[in-house]
């Protein structure tokens, strides 16, 4: 049987091109973007030019016409250098574009996909102050009004909020219907009544913007509905299942980046007359970290390939997201330990990766929610 980590020729070429781009174009900007908590605008243009902002968008709409697995490879390689860049590309592809490809009407796809492939960032607005893990306890309301809807409410912790121009917004049309009243809408920046609010000052992935969205009598047309009225919960659930694989890829890339830095450093750092990599105690720690990274890769690739094959992948998505996020934290922590004092200062890259790793166990479904999904499957 061919190992899941074996790549086809086109997958290998994609990985190599994104890795070269990340090293040449992203790495020089990592520290500055982290310190200023701001994405470099020119880098966004370069990501579009590279073709990684519309991986699965058909070529007829200006995209790359690739697979979900291609998106996973892109996110992994970018996150190896900067998880902030990785998550921007991840949300664009695995959440926003996937939702529009699956649920958008032909007219909506024709209107949005060419822009998302060439120049426009998207965001996915589900979370609110009172609906985190309980994602469908939404307070944002969409009231029917003539041939459209008026949206009122607030969204929190929205990735890409500062850069995005297209937002998928989940609101409740009929609160009494529970999750069956939830509907997904496309809202564009500049729509009257819609503003992007506070940008959060975060522990990690600081260059990635995380913002509040405010809706005050924001009117949208019925043609902005994504999917069907009352089917927003289905849009959200199915898209988030895929998004979890993307976060698994982000955490995998982070773990690989931390391990790469650590291996190089332990070969260079000398104590008691020899490189610390020559000590068995260090070697064993590196061996366990390498095992973590490889198992995370197998898990993420397996989930992605299942998705592309049209096979069930819900449990595998939960597993890969959970394991990769924990592996990323362990590997980044080990990196700081083996760097010693240098690992604790910003002049070296591993302290940032340690800060970036923590979010992997929180967003797009906490670790406890992933465990709940896995447990439900094995006990059914």
Q: Hey, which residues are catalytic here? A: 364
Closest CA to 14 of 81, 49, 66: 66
| Whether the Cβ atoms of residue 320 and residue 248 lie closer than 8 Å to each other | yes
CA 376 to chain centre: 25
Half-sphere exposure of 205 (CA within 13 A, CB side): 27
**Cα separation, 17 vs 22, whole angstroms:** 9
Per the CB < 8 A criterion, the answer to whether 201 and 253 are in contact is no
Query: 263: how many CB neighbours lie within 10 A of its CB?
Result: 16
Task: State how far the Cα of 156 lies from the Cα of 200, in Å rounded to an integer.
Answer: 9
Distance CA 149, CA 152 (A): 10
Q: Please measure the distance between the N-terminal and C-terminal CA atoms of the chain and give it in whole angstroms.
A: 29
- What stretches of the chain show up as alpha helix (H) in DSSP? 9-21, 30-36, 41-50, 68-81, 83-90, 98-103, 106-118, 232-268, 280-308, 314-339, 350-357, 367-379
Cβ atoms of 135 and 157 within 8 Å: the answer is no
User: Where are the strands (E) in the chain, listed by range?
Assistant: 122-125, 141-145, 148-159, 166-172, 182-188, 194-199, 210-221, 225-226, 270-271, 274-275
4 φ/ψ sector (left φ>0, alpha ψ -120 to 50, else beta) = alpha
**Tokens read off for 56:** 């699965």
Rounded Cα distance between 320 and 312, Å, is 14
Q: Which residue has 């990599």 as its token pair?
A: 277
Are 360 and 325 a contacting pair, CB within 8 Å? Answer: yes
Taking CA atoms, 262 is separated from 97, 128, 276, 293, 349, in Å, by 35, 38, 11, 13, 10
Token pair 């998928």 in the structure block, residue: 168
């Amino acid at each position: 049987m061919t190992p899941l980590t074996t790549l086809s020729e086109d997958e290998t070429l994609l990985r190599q091109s994104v890795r070269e781009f990340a090293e040449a174009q992203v790495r020089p900007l990592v520290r500055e973007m982290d310190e200023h908590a701001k994405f470099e605008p020119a880098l966004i243009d370069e990501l579009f030019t590279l073709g990684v902002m519309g991986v699965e968008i058909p070529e007829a709409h200006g995209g790359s016409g690739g697979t979900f697995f291609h998106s996973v490879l892109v996110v992994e390689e970018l996150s190896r250098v900067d998880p902030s860049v990785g998550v921007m590309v991840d949300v664009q592809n695995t959440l926003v574009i996937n939702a529009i490809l699956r649920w958008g009407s032909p007219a909506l796809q024709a209107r949005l996909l060419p822009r998302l492939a060439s120049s426009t960032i998207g965001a996915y607005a589900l979370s609110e102050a009172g609906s985190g893990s309980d994602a469908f306890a939404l307070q944002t309301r969409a009231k029917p009004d003539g041939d459209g809807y008026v949206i009122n409410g607030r969204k929190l912790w929205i990735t890409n909020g500062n850069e995005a121009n297209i937002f998928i917004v989940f609101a409740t049309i009929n609160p009494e219907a529970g999750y069956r009243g939830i509907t997904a809408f496309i809202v564009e920046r500049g729509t009257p009544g819609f503003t992007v609010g506070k940008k959060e000052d975060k522990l990690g992935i600081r260059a990635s913007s995380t913002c509040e969205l405010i809706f005050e009598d924001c009117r949208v047309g019925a043609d902005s509905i994504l999917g069907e009225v009352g089917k927003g919960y289905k849009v959200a659930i199915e898209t988030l299942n895929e998004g979890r694989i993307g976060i698994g890829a982000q955490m995998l890339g982070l773990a690989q980046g931390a391990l790469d830095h650590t291996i190089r450093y332990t070969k260079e750092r000398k104590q008691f007359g020899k490189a610390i990599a020559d000590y068995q105690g260090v070697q064993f720690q590196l061996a366990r970290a390498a095992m973590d990274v490889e198992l995370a890769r197998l898990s993420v690739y397996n989930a992605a390939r299942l998705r592309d094959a049209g096979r069930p992948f819900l449990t595998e998505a939960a597993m890969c997201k959970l394991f990769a996020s924990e592996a990323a934290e362990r590997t980044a922590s080990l990196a700081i330990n083996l760097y010693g004092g240098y690992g604790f200062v910003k002049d070296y890259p591993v302290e940032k990766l340690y800060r970036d790793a923590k979010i992997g166990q929180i967003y797009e479904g906490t670790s406890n929610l992933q465990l709940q999904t896995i447990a439900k499957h094995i006990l059914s």
